Chains A and B, each alone.
Chain A
Amino acid sequence: MKYVDEFRDPDKARALIAEIHKLVARIDLCRVRPLQVMEVCGGHTHTIFRYGIQHMLPPEVELVHGPGCPVCVLPMGRVDDCVALAERQGTILATFGDAVRVPGSRKSLLQAKADGADVRIVYSPLDALRLARDNPGREVVFFALGFETTMPPTALTVQRAQAEEIRNFSLFCNHITIIPTIKAILDSPEVGLDGFVGPGHVSMVIGSAPYQFVPERYRKPVVIAGFEPLDVLQALGMVLAQIAAGRAAVENQYRRVAADAGNAAALAAVHEVFELREFFEWRGLGSIDHSGVRLREAYAQFDAERRFAVPNVSIADPKACQCGEVLKGVIKPWQCKVFGTACTPEAPLGALMVSSEGACAAHYQFGGSVRINAPANGKAPVP
């Protein structure tokens, strides 16, 4: 496929990997401990596992899988709230597909659907608005989640709903922002990172300026990356090049899609429709100040939390669940006590096993199971 195959060229990949090996040889810190580079975005996690990128890197480079999967960081209590909305009489709950299997404390949306709730999978918030138009006698609630990437389509949909005076449409807003989260990770005492592969599609909206605080305040490089394997490898090389040169800056590997200035129209819509919440709970990370948004007062009629009573209870994760440690990069998926045993894609305990962008699901799917069966002598088994 044009514009896809070029970014998966194995010869170019080998050249990039060779360059990474050369850079590592120049970095003194590698002789003391592995470098830790976090890929923030779940899409990058998926690419890394799908193409086995972590196995191509020298052992001195360790990839830490960050919390950039909005489904994975959704607290159980919010899932319960969404299930409660779905179970309201006469409600159609419209949701993206990867959210239907996230377990709540009682059930997932999929289980609610099996129990009789009208839960429908959509590919865009505009699909949800169409449902509202086509079903004027029913309340349609759209389960709005995602980072800055999906805020603009949600915002534009709300603006359209207002313009068309659609009265039976609302959204349950769980949009979150990645920038305060990167700061929270950098401030976390358990986490020691050397650089970041920055989220490509978030950057398409916000540009590169919001990441400046990372090199300025924390002296860590950030390279915004695309999602093909060569994108990720090139971005990793750019991070390592900065470390080797003793520099820290924001660089953009994904200029073909993400302009440094971001997308002004998208930002304008987001600014018009959303305002910051004081704090928002992230599964596994706790509350992060100013990391979530809600609808502004002018759009309150479209806010499901203001229109309907939701339980709004904070639910603790199952004791065995170690999603939080995986999200912060403290442990790898296979180091979780229940990975592959009590927690599988068929019966997930935690959200990281549900979404395809979750580190655990990606690792489970793309051949990470060899680590589960590693023999006691510590050597990796022959697959």
Chain B
Amino acid sequence: MSNDALEALYPFLHGVRQDGASLETRLLESVRAKAEDSVIVKRRFFEENAERVVAAAKTIAGSYRRGGRLIAMGNGGSSCDASHVTVEFLHPITAGRPALAALDLGADRAMLTAVANDVGFTHVFVRQLIALARPEDALIGISTSGNSENLLAAFVKAKEMGLATIGLSGGDGGRMAASPALDHCLVVATDSVHRVQECHVAIYHIIWDLVHSLLADDRGAALAGPKR
């Protein structure tokens, strides 16, 4: 009986594998539940924040109109998102949409490691902004917690330099939501990091699309020439 009890408490010690059929059922249920959660989070976010998303897109489009670029930053998974949003703008997959200048502050590992090693990780994005950013640029920072020190520091510097600033955050928005250095902060109000990240992807894809729609209007007007 003791062996049975110990085997039940610590299956990994006894090479006990889960029953195939019940495992399969649980896995399928897990897929459905998580997918459903993801849909609910996205639907709720866009129902509550559609106007904010449009406003953020207008700000970014405004930067492009002034000859600026989109600069993106994030840590970890959000760094992948920063890289993703950059390549969306640099390499549009839709015919007829022009490539737009975008910069990922996480791309240069020599710079990241140099600043992190010599000064501190809080400064890895700030130092790059000082060298590279111009007032007509827009800075987008992505963080599931909203509390990453290096993003917060970069937003403050960007605001000092005159950039437009947009944040994507999660949970309760963290310190990003409360920071006066952000012109826009889009908060996905859930504590699941994965659900936040999934929604962030949808947000910046939609923003990319909106920016192009806004700029296409300008291009259309330019082609049409002045009204007679």
Q: A: which residues have CB within 8 A of B?
A: 148, 177, 179-180, 183, 206-207, 209-210, 212-213, 261-262, 264, 267-268, 270-271, 275-276, 278, 289-290, 293, 313-316, 319
Once the chains bind, are B10 and A271 in contact (CB under 8 Å)?
Answer: no
Docked complex: B1-22 residues within 8 A CB-CB of A? 1-2, 4-6, 8-13
CA distance A290 to B26 in the complex (A): 15
Residues of B within 8 Å of A, CB-based: how many?
17
Check A316 against B191 for contact (C-beta < 8 Å): yes
Name which residue of chain A comes closest to B9, CB basis.
A177
Is the pair A271, B12 in contact by a Cβ cutoff of 8 Å? Answer: no
Chain A hits for B62, CB < 8 A: none
Which chain B residue lies CB-closest to A314?
A: B191
Which single residue of chain A is at the shortest CB-CB distance from B26? A278
A265 CB to nearest B CB, Å: 9
The answer on a CB contact under 8 Å between A267 and B5 is yes
**Chain B 190-207 interface mask (CB, 8 Å, partner A; 1/0):** 011000000000000000
Contact A261 B2 (CB under 8 A): yes
Docked-complex contact B2 and A267, CB < 8 angstroms: yes
Q: Which residues from chain A contact B11 at a C-beta distance below 8 Å?
A: 276, 290
**Looking at the complex, which one of A290, A316, A319 makes contact with B12 (CB distance below 8 Å)?**
A290
Residue of A nearest to B148 (CB): A319
Chain A residues near B8: list those with CB within 8 A.
271, 275-276
Q: Once bound together, how far apart are the Cα atoms of A264 and B192, in whole Å?
A: 41
Complexed CA–CA distance, A313 and B192 (Å): 9
Q: Give the chain B neighbours of A180 by CB distance below 8 A.
A: 10, 12
Please state if B192 and A319 are interface contacts (CB–CB under 8 Å).
no
Check if B147 is an interface residue, CB within 8 A of chain A. yes
B145 contacts the other chain (CB 8 A): yes
The minimal Cβ–Cβ distance linking A351 to chain B, given in whole angstroms, is 18
Q: B171 near A: Cβ within 8 Å?
A: yes
Q: Tell me the minimal C-beta distance from B122 to chain A in angstroms.
A: 13
Q: How far is the CA of A210 from the CA of B1 in the complex (A)?
A: 15
> Are B2 and A210 within 8 A (Cβ)?
no
Whether the pair A210, B12 counts as a contact (CB closer than 8 A) is: no
Can you give 18 A-B contacts (C-beta < 8 A)? A177-B10, A179-B9, A180-B12, A207-B2, A213-B13, A267-B1, A267-B5, A268-B1, A270-B5, A271-B1, A271-B5, A276-B11, A278-B26, A290-B10, A313-B191, A314-B191, A314-B192, A316-B145
- Nearest to B170 among chain A residues (CB) is A316
Query: Given the interface contacts A210-B6, A270-B5, does A315 sit within 8 Å of B191 by beta carbon?
Result: yes
Within the assembled complex, what's the spacing in Å between the Cα atoms of A319 and B143? Answer: 13
A270 to B10, CA, bound (A): 13
Write the nearest CB–CB distance from B143 to chain A, whole angstroms.
12
Interface centre among B2, B13, B191, by most chain A C-beta atoms within 10 angstroms, is B2
- The complex places the Cα of A289 from the Cα of B191 at a distance, in Å, of 21
Chain B nearest CB from A260 CB (Å) reads 11
| Contact yes or no, B191 A268, CB < 8 A | no
**Which B118-176 residues have a C-beta within 8 angstroms of A?**
145, 147, 171
- Chain B, residues 78-122, CB within 8 Å of chain A (1/0): the string is 000000000000000000000000000000000000000000000
The smallest beta-carbon distance between A190 and chain B, in angstroms, is: 16
Query: CB-CB < 8 A to A212: which residues of B?
Result: 13
Q: Which residues of B contact A210 (CB under 8 A)?
A: 6, 9-10, 13
Q: For A179, what are the chain B residues with a Cβ–Cβ distance below 8 Å? A: 9-10, 13
Bound-state Cα–Cα, A180 to B2, Å: 18
Q: How far is the CA of A271 from the CA of B191 in the complex (A)?
A: 34
Interface centre among A148, A212, A268, A271 (most CB of B within 10 A): A271
The 4 closest A-B pairs by CB, nearest first: A271-B5, A267-B5, A264-B2, A267-B2
Inter-chain CA distance A264–B4, complex, in Å, is 10
Q: Which residues of B contact A183 (CB under 8 A)?
A: 12
A319 and B147: CB pair below 8 A? yes
Nearest A residue to B10, CB-CB: A179
Seed contacts A180-B10, A209-B6; 13 additional CB < 8 Å A-B pairs: A148-B9, A177-B9, A207-B6, A212-B13, A264-B2, A267-B1, A271-B1, A271-B4, A271-B8, A276-B9, A313-B191, A316-B191, A319-B145
A154 to B159, CA, bound (A): 58
Within the complex, what minimum Cβ distance (angstroms) separates B149 from chain A? 9
Residues on A with beta carbons closer than 8 Å to the beta carbon of B192: 314
A76 to chain B, nearest CB (A): 11
Q: Which residues of A contact B147 (CB under 8 A)?
A: 319
Interchain CB contact under 8 A, B171 and A316: yes
Complex CA distance for A270 and B1, rounded to whole angstroms:
11
| Cβ contacts under 8 Å, A177 to chain B | 9-10
Shortest B98–chain A CB gap in Å is: 41
CB distance from B146 to the nearest CB of A (A): 10
Roughly how many angstroms separate A212 CA and B9 CA in the complex, as a whole number?
15
Q: Which residues of A contact B171 (CB under 8 A)?
A: 316
Q: Which residues from chain A contact B191 at a C-beta distance below 8 Å? A: 313-316
- Collect the chain B residues with CB atoms within 8 Å of residue A262's CB: 2, 6
Residues of B within 8 A of A275 (CB): 8
Smallest CB-CB separation from B193: which chain A residue? Answer: A316
| Residue numbers in A under 8 Å from B9 (CB-CB) | 148, 177, 179, 206, 210, 270-271, 276, 293
